Chain A
Amino acid sequence: MPVSGQRDVFAYTPSIIVLQATAAQAAHRMDEPELIRAAQRGDQRAFEQLVRLYDQNVLRLALNLLRSPEDANDIYQEAFLRVYKNLHSFRFDCSFHTWLYRIVTNLCLDALRKRRVRREENTVVETSEGFLDRMDTVEEARADGNPQRQLMSRQLGKKIKEVLTGLTPRERAVFEMRHYQGLRLRTIGDMLGTSEEAAKNCLFRATQKMRAALGDFV
C-alpha cells in the first residue's frame, strides 16, 4: 500500500484499498497558485494535479509539432521533469501556463532543429502485415465510415504533413500553437520569447506557404 509522502504520483492499485486519511492529504487547495505553492513545498499530489491540468495539451502540442509518438513522449517526459526540478524557481512573474509552454516549445524547437540537420523522420514503417503509420497507433480514432472520404482525408493529411515539414521550426511552432491550441499571438510571443509582431509575421508566412501548397486540394 502506498503511504503518505511515498504515494504513487498518478496511479492506485485498483481493487484492494486501505483507507487512511493523513495530514498530507489535507494540503490541497482549489486554485492554481496554491497548487503550485504546495508542489513547491514538495506535495506530490499537488504536482500531480498540476500535471493533469496541462499534460494532455502538452502532449497534443508535441505530437502535432513533431508528428512522432516517440519524440512527443520524450518532450512530455523532459518537460515535466524540468518543471518538477525547477518549480522552486518559479516566481509567478508570468502565468504557470506560459512558463510551462516556454519549456515545451523550447524543447520542441530544439528537436525540430536537430531533425532538420538529420533527415525528417518517417512515421510509416514496414511490418509483417504491410506498411503501418505509427501515428495511427497513438492518434485518437476519427469516426468516419466513408472509404472515399477516408482516402481523400488521408491524401490531404499527407499533403498537409509535407507542408508542415517545409515550414521553419518557428513558423511551425507558431502555426501549431495558434491553429490547434487556440493561443493568442501575444501569448505565443511570450512563450517563444519574442514579440507579438514577430509571432504574427511567422503565422503569416506559415499560412502563405500552406495556401500555396494546398491550393489544389481545397
Chain B
Amino acid sequence: MKCEEVKKTLPLFLYGELSFDEEERLEVHIDECASCRGVLERERAMFKALDSAEVAPAQDFLDQCRAELRGRLARAAPERNKFWDKILRGFSIQFHFAPGIMQPLGAVAMLAIGFFAARVAPTSLLGSWRSAGVLAEPATSRVRYVEPAGPGRVQIVIDETRQRTLSGNVDDQSIQRLLLTAAKDPSDAGLRVESVDLLKSKPQSAEVRSALLYALQHDSNAGVRLKALDGLKDFANDPQTRQTLAQVLLRDDNPGVRTQVIDLLIQHRSDSMVGVLQELMVKEDNGYIRMRCQRALHDMNASVETY
C-alpha cells in the first residue's frame, strides 16, 4: 500500500468502514511509515475537533417540539381515523351535488336506520342503556350461564364488574399505592406506561424509585422502560441506580432504551464505568451506541476493548 492510498483511506479506517483485509494492509503500512503515522494522528485530532462541534438538542427544545407535534397530531387524527366523519361527509357531498333530490332521500335513510336499529337491537341492551343514567358508575358484564325457567322463559346469570373512578393528587399515599400496583400489572402494558409516567415525577420517594428501577430492568414493554428511565435521570449518580443502568445497557434488547441509557451514563461519567463500557464494545452492534461508548473510553484514556 502506498502513502497516497493510505492517506485517502484514513477517514474510512477511523470510521471502521474498511474491510478486514484493507484494514490489515493499512495497519501494516502505518506500523512501518512514520509520515503516515503523523497523518493518522492529525486525522484523529480533526475527528476529535469535529466531535466537539456536535449539537445535541436540549431537553426543553425536545419537549417544545413534542408539544407542538402533539397538537398537530390531534388535528390530524380526526382526518385519518374518524369513520363516521367519512360517512357523514359522504352524505353531505351527495346533498351538495343534488340537494333537491338527495336531502329527502337522506332523511328517509336516517329514519330507516333509526327504525331498524330499534327493531333489531335487543331490549336488554336498550334497557341497560336506559339504566346507565341511574347507575353511578359504568359496568361491564358477561353472561355466566343460561337455563330454561319454565315454558317460554329463561334464567340468565350475569357477572358484573363495576368500575370506580378515584380522583386525587399524585402525592396522595393511597393514589400512589394504586399507581405502584398498576405499574406492575402484567396484563396491561398501556396501564403500566400511564402509571410509570405519573410516578416518574416523584422519584424522591424510595418506594417509587424502587418501582422505577424494577420497571427499567424487568418490564417487557420498551415504552414503560423508557418512562422509568426518564424518572431516574436525576438519580444517575446514585450507586444503586448506576448499577441498574449498567445492567440495562448491557442486557436490554431495545436500542432506543440503550441509547438513552448510554447518553445518561456518559453525562454522569465516572472511571468505574470503564469495565462496563469495554464489555459493551464487545457485544454492542448499534452504531450510535458504539460511537458514544468509544468516545467516552477515549475521553477517559481507557482502551476501547479488553484483550
A contact residues vs B (CB 8 Å cutoff): 8-12, 14-22, 24-31, 35, 42, 44-45, 47-49, 51-57, 59-60, 63-64, 67, 69, 72-73, 76-77, 80-81, 84-85, 135, 137-141, 153, 156-157, 160-161, 178-185, 187, 200, 203-204, 207, 210-211, 214, 217-218
- Measured CB to CB, the closest approach of chain A to B73, in angstroms, equals 5
B172-204 residues with Cβ-Cβ distance < 8 A to A are 175, 178-179, 182, 185, 187-191, 193-194, 197-198, 201
CA distance A12 to B198 in the complex (A): 8
Q: Which of A69, A77, A84 contacts B68 (CB 8 A)?
A: A77
The smallest beta-carbon distance between B57 and chain A, in angstroms, is 5
| Interface window among B89-97, B117-125, B220-228 | B220-228
B193 to A: closest C-beta gap in Å: 7
Q: Are A28 and B57 in contact (CB under 8 A)?
A: no
Nearest CB in chain A to that of B257: its residue: A53
- Measured between beta carbons, the chain A residues less than 8 angstroms from B165 are 18-20
Contacting pair B166 A19 (CB below 8 A)? yes
CA of A22 to CA of B289, assembled, Å: 36
A139 touches B56 (CB 8 A): yes
Asked if B46 and A214 make an inter-chain contact with CB atoms under 8 angstroms apart, the answer reads yes
With a cutoff of 8 Å between Cβ atoms, the chain A residues found around residue B47 in the complex are 179
| Contact assessment for A139 and B222 in the assembled complex, using a CB-CB cutoff below 8 Å | no
User: Contact partner of A52 among B68, B168, B256, CB < 8 A?
Assistant: B256
The prevalent SS among residues of B at the interface is: helix
Find out whether the CB atom of B42 lies under 8 angstroms from the CB atom of A218: yes
> Could you list which residues of chain B lie within 8 angstroms of chain A, going by C-beta atoms?
8, 11-12, 15, 17, 42-43, 45-62, 64-70, 72-74, 76-77, 80-81, 163, 165-171, 175, 178-179, 182, 185, 187-191, 193-194, 197-198, 201, 220-223, 226, 254, 256, 259-260, 286-292
A49 and B58 contact, CB distance less than 8 A? no
* Chain B contacts for A161, CB-based, 8 A: 53
Top 6 A-B residue pairs of the complex, sorted by shortest distance between their CB atoms:
A25-B190, A182-B291, A53-B256, A182-B287, A28-B189, A49-B223
Contacts A15-B169, A44-B77, A204-B12 hold; do A139 and B70 have CB atoms under 8 A apart? no
A30 & B220 in contact (Cβ 8 Å cutoff): yes
A207→B47 CA distance, assembly (Å):
9
Q: When the two chains form their complex, are residues B52 and A42 in contact, meaning their CB atoms are under 8 A apart? A: no
A26 near B187 with CB under 8 A, answer yes
Extra pairs beyond A8-B74, A183-B288, A210-B50 (4, CB < 8 Å) = A17-B168, A26-B191, A54-B256, A200-B17
